[in-house]
A and B are shown apart, each in its own frame.
Chain A
Amino acid sequence: MAQLSSNLLYTAFVLYLVSIVFFSGAIKAKSADGTKIAPSRSAKIGILITIIGFIAQVGYFITRWIAAGHAPVSNLFEFTTFFGMALVGAFIVIYFIYQTPLLGLFTLPIAVLIIAYASMFPREISPLIPALQSDWLHIHVTTAALGQAVLSISFAAALIYLVKVIDQTKSDKKTFWLEVIMYTLISTLGFIIVSTAFSMANYESTFNYIDKNNAEDQIEFAMPAIVGPNEGELQSEGSFQPLIEMPAIINAKKLNTLIWSLGSGLLLYGLLRLIFRKRVSAMLQPLVKNISADLVDEISYRSVLIGFPIFTLGALIFAMIWAQIAWTRFWGWDPKEVWALITFLFYAAFLHLRLSKGWHGERSAWLAVIGFAIMMFNLIAVNLVIAGLHSYAGS
């Protein structure tokens, strides 16, 4: 069962990749004469493959649930994968409302990145610790992830909007920040490539070091240590000797991974710039030529409107109910709780700003980007760096 489950996930992943190809075909196939033309063949095939992929991933979810005996949303790998699945699901729904293959071309790569990122974490089926043994586990986590997924669609739409309207003939703050977004996405890809490569090469180097409580400990790096742990002594033969040693309060292993990701991202990004001789966003701009800016703006806003209630229900209300049962209080200012509140407040501010003039279009799109950044911060930094009660203990 567990084997079947991971095969299904793999299938879904490949199908999503294939559908991206078809969606990009659909963009070129679309003629330039207006808004209302039936979706081309290519888009139809694209959405069909996406749906099959989605079904495969639902299959993964169900079989893993059966194998584990609990909903597979109990660690970082499972949660992040589920988030990717919800993102595809939300995309399918929005696709049928607005019929825009272009949205697929932007959403699916993000979903694929997220799923690939997820599989960099330990993938075993883990038993549930007592706090997680509750039906609220799947009620709360799935609703929260679904809400975040719908909110993320607004990011994808906002990205299309920005790529479309930002003037690429100049070089200013806007083009800079848009490139920062592209670079961040590329760095995620870099992280995935580098992690996969070193894990296939079975790279491992062990250090003895002194931790922040002045105790001796041992740590294993899965990537060559550019930065090493505090007073670290390399134990493995033939491993790379760290260039810089970190003080004890900094987690050298995580920092090292970050450096590798950003570095490989920079390399990839630099290569793209060298080959195409323009900004990545400028490269993408022709793709979005034919879509109405108003329409993507509305998709972006609409996704926030649809996602906000779901997110509130899942990430705050259900969360509070469960916290009352498992942790004796519905609210305790745990970092993860606070970041859910921050996300909530942020999108509340978004909705209020949208009511006033001047916060449509471009400004609203930037806000959608910030909203997504907050959610990703909650998913990545809060889990891995701040880590309170919620920590899934990923590393």
Chain B
Amino acid sequence: MNEVKCECGHVNPHGTILCESCGRILDDKEKDKQLLDMRYEGSARRSQTYNKTIIDKIWNFFSSVKVGVWLIVLTLGASALGTILPQEMYIPPVMPASEYYEDQYGWVGKLYYELGLHNMYGSWWYLILIASIGVSLVICSLDRVVPLYRALKTQRVSRHEGYLKRQRLFGISDTADADMDLEKIKQKLKAKRYNIREENGNLLAEKGRFSRWGPYVNHVGLIIFLVGGMLRFVPGMYVDQILWVREGETKVIPGTDGQYYLTNNDFILEIYDKETDDEVFDAAIDRVGTVVKNYQTNATLYQKKGNTIPGEKPELEKIKDKEIRVNEPLKIDGFALYQVDYKRDELNKMLFRLENKQTKESYGNITIDLFDPQTEFDLGNGYYVEVMSYFPDFEFDGEGDPTTKSRIPNNPAFVFNMVTPENPDGEVSFVAIQQTIEPLGDNEYKMAFNGVETKDVSALTVRKDLTLWIISLGGAIFMIGVIQGAYWNHRRLWIRKMDGQIWTAGHTNKNWHGLKRELESVFDETGLPAPKDQLSEDKKE
């Protein structure tokens, strides 16, 4: 490419504004300015140099900070829109979203739903916004970091006078004994941890250059973070399942390919108690009522031994016991099980008594396991009960016939056939909670309700997330980069002897006030004045 050779002999890439080595102004437009634009050291950035092909145009679009800021602001605005009403995942599962929003929030809700804002963060356009930020991050960083690196690496100590006098901090002074003054300044600069380079009696003091890489480091962190977020969609990287398990029950942990099993030994729910807990909490408990103290599942984890064919009962090996609480998940092999929900006192067993209606005499008890009901009960002496039908979650359907809504025993009902010496063919009775129907006429016997046994059910979220380490890495790199760029500044001071005068110029990428104060103390008592701020003097009153 047509490179630009500076008078100092350094060869610069096409498009360079300030010679990378001596700082001479190579672009005539820059000469009219009182102060130089020092942002990227006047280096040749691709985006400022080429604008012909479509690739150039795309590159230039995404490398512009203006575009970047627009993308950020659009994302910000969109994110805010999504919080006006709850997102679909947070609405109660009482009715479909298509009805819920209108029902709860009227026409506003309807509009919200129709615009798709109820599920906004997963929408294609929101993802495109985020992706554009990612693309922009890559391009804008590449566009700047390479030339900036070149320029900072190549910079020479002696800078061109046009460069020096167009720095924001600049001064010319006469001095009787330049060498002695310089020596003092050097000592003080060293004490302030400046790196000092000298060349032909000229001086460049520099510190904090590494902070210039901060933005690029943090952008790399962000990119890694975004990539991590995207990997979530790769099968196998991410598991999100829920496991409902009753007390006493052992279940396979979903997502683990049948490798792991979990037993719920006990589910515990504790609330704060004014008697036993610290009395400082009394006032709060009085005001709000019950406050939950603990949700806990005492679990035992098992691993399957050997291979089993489907259907065969696996042999299990105990791995460990663990009390799973909120904030204290059970971890195994990349999986974590979290306490997330529960159901108390779910019906588990129902107890009945075969009773003669007249004499109230009992002829035996039966216990029905609502999850695995036995169908025949021989009570001896010719007494016999058969469960003809079982409806775990009973209701009448449209035709008035009994059916079941689900397999969860929320409202169990039974059809019994009671065989007794008096009725060898049996009497049929339909028994539901608080309700008995004798469809074939009056019976002599009945199944009297004799109590229930209940159990708690605990819900655990099963989670595997193999993207976590990538996301953490991205986050860590981001933090390092931000801190690097925010808590350090890149400061430079040039001193050049010209025709018996001393020229001084200072530059920092941010925090000018700090640089000025530092230079004031460096030049104090040296006989030389510190460079003056060419920009702000006119603004002060």
Contact = CB atoms under 8 A, between A and B. Distances in A.
Contacts of B281: 124-127
A298 to B, nearest CB: 5
B239 to A, nearest CB: 11
21 contacts: A98-B513, A130-B292, A133-B326, A134-B327, A249-B104, A293-B539, A293-B540, A306-B486, A312-B479, A317-B475, A320-B475, A325-B327, A328-B463, A334-B90, A338-B82, A339-B80, A345-B72, A345-B73, A352-B72, A356-B66, A382-B83
B327 A131 contact: yes
A345 B68 CA distance: 11
A329 interface: yes
Given A69-B278, A298-B511, A339-B83, A355 B482 contact: no
Contacts of B278: 69, 127
B94 to A, nearest CB: 10
A125 B282 CA distance: 9
A325 B340 CA distance: 11
Interface of A: 2, 67-69, 98, 122, 124-127, 129-131, 133-134, 212, 249, 289, 292-295, 298, 301-302, 305-306, 308-309, 312-313, 317, 320, 324-326, 328-330, 332-335, 338-339, 341-342, 345-346, 348-349, 352-353, 355-356, 382, 386, 388, 393
Interface stretch (B49-57, B283-291, B300-308): B283-291
Contacts of B465: 329
B487 A356 contact: no
Given A308-B482, A317-B479, A355-B39, A345 B487 contact: no
B69 interface: yes
Contacts of A301: 510
Nearest to B277: A127
Nearest to A304: B486
A353 B272 CA distance: 51
B128 interface: no
A298 B471 contact: no
A98 B240 CA distance: 51
A326 B463 CA distance: 12
Contact of A388 (B86, B288, B487): B86
B522 to A, nearest CB: 16
B513 A349 contact: no
B253 to A, nearest CB: 14
Contact of B280 (A68, A129, A294): A68
A313 B294 CA distance: 29
Interface in B361-392: none
A309 B487 contact: yes
B112 to A, nearest CB: 13
A352 B80 CA distance: 20
B260 interface: no
B142 interface: no
B65 A326 contact: no
A289 B541 CA distance: 9
B532 to A, nearest CB: 14
Nearest to A131: B326
Interface of B: 39, 65-66, 68-69, 72-73, 75-76, 79-80, 82-83, 86-87, 89-90, 104-106, 121, 240, 272, 277-278, 280-281, 283-285, 287-288, 291-295, 325-327, 329, 336, 338, 340, 461, 463, 465, 468, 471, 475, 478-479, 482-483, 486-487, 510-513, 536, 539-541
A325 B336 CA distance: 9
Contacts of A334: 90
Given A294-B539, A305-B487, A313-B479, 5 more contacts: A126-B291, A130-B326, A312-B482, A317-B479, A346-B76
B468 A324 contact: yes
A317 B336 CA distance: 20
B482 A309 contact: yes
A292 B512 contact: no
Contacts of B539: 293-294
Nearest to A331: B229
A352 B325 contact: no
A283 B338 CA distance: 58
Contacts of A333: 82, 87, 89, 121
Contacts of A67: 280
Q: 8 closest Cβ contacts across the A-B interface?
A: A130-B326, A126-B284, A124-B283, A124-B284, A345-B76, A335-B83, A127-B281, A328-B338
Contacts of A292: 536, 540
Nearest to B94: A213
B290 to A, nearest CB: 11
Nearest to B271: A127
Nearest to B336: A328
B69 A127 contact: no
Contacts of A388: 86, 90
Contact of B272 (A124, A127, A305): A127
Nearest to B105: A249
Nearest to B278: A69
B511 A212 contact: no
A298 B272 contact: no
Nearest to A165: B539
A393 B83 CA distance: 18
Contacts of B479: 309, 312-313, 317
A129 to B, nearest CB: 6
Contacts of B288: 126, 393
A149 B10 CA distance: 49
Given A249-B105, A292-B540, A127 B90 contact: no
B294 A130 contact: yes
